[in-house]
Amino acid sequence: MKFIGIVGTNSDRSTNRKLLHFMKAHFADKAEIEVCEIKSLPAFNEPKDKTPPSTVKELSDKIEDADGVIIATPEYDHSITAALKSAIEWLSYTTRPLINKCVMIVGASHGSLGSSRAQAHLRQILDAPELKARIMPSSEFLLGHSLQAFDENGDLIYHDKVKELDECFDEFILFVTLTNELLKKAKFNTEQNKKFSWKQAAEEGAL
């Protein structure tokens, strides 16, 4: 399987980036994970023609081609970062590659909660009509005290969290396999969902 791992921040010192790179190496025998940055994406500005910038299109194409997406989110003020929200807004407003795409959410934080509130908020966002991602249910990977969690080689040193991450990742692989097979058989109209418009929905609701 091929997954895209999205670093949910533009911070150079992010432990969420370290977490994704650890996952890439640790699960190399189970899946290929390409870690993608959002640093180069411009702030969302709602282009009239809905054409994404080249950097957004590049990320979108990678998501389209992947079997699933892993988003590593920190927690800023009880929510996700402005940079991640902007990246998601670009995708939802233009190409909509996350529709029916399987998503696993993980998160690391300097405190003890491991980005739990940000992860809950991200789940709500990804359920919006313009996104409609298939989010892995009943599974959270929360890495607290992340500043001390990695050694000089980038390995996660909390053995209990490594075991927990192993279980979560195996569940995600199964979730992706079953969900993609279901989507294939049920023939959900992904392309029609990509054309969703609030204006059209409002007009139809007024009839």
Domain range annotation of the chain: 2-206
The total of other beta-carbon atoms located within 10 Å of residue 49's CB is: 5
Q: Tell me the one-letter amino acid at 38.
A: I
Helix (H, G, I), strand (E, B) or coil at 149: coil
At 44, the amino acid letter reads: F
> Which pLDDT tens digits describe the chain residue by residue (207 residues)?
999 999 999 999 999 999 999 999 999 999 999 999 999 999 999 988 999 999 999 999 999 999 999 999 999 999 999 999 999 999 999 999 999 999 999 999 998 888 999 999 999 999 999 999 999 998 889 999 999 999 999 999 999 999 999 999 999 999 999 999 998 876 656 666 666 666 665 555 644
Domain made up of 2-206: CATH architecture: 3-Layer(aba) Sandwich (3.40)
H or E, element range at 36: strand 32-36
- Characterize 2-14 residue by residue with b for buried, 16 or more Cβ atoms within 10 angstroms of its Cβ, and e for exposed: ebbbbbbbbeeeb
pLDDT of 113 reads 84
Residue 140 near residue 172, CB atoms below 8 Å: no
Q: What's the token pair of residue 127?
A: 């359920």
SS3 133: coil
The upper half-sphere exposure of residue 16, i.e. CA atoms within 13 Å in the direction of its Cβ, equals 32
How far apart are the C-alpha atoms of 198 and 205, rounded to whole Å? Answer: 10
Q: Would you tell me the crossing angle of helices 82-93 and 54-65 to the nearest 10 degrees?
A: 80
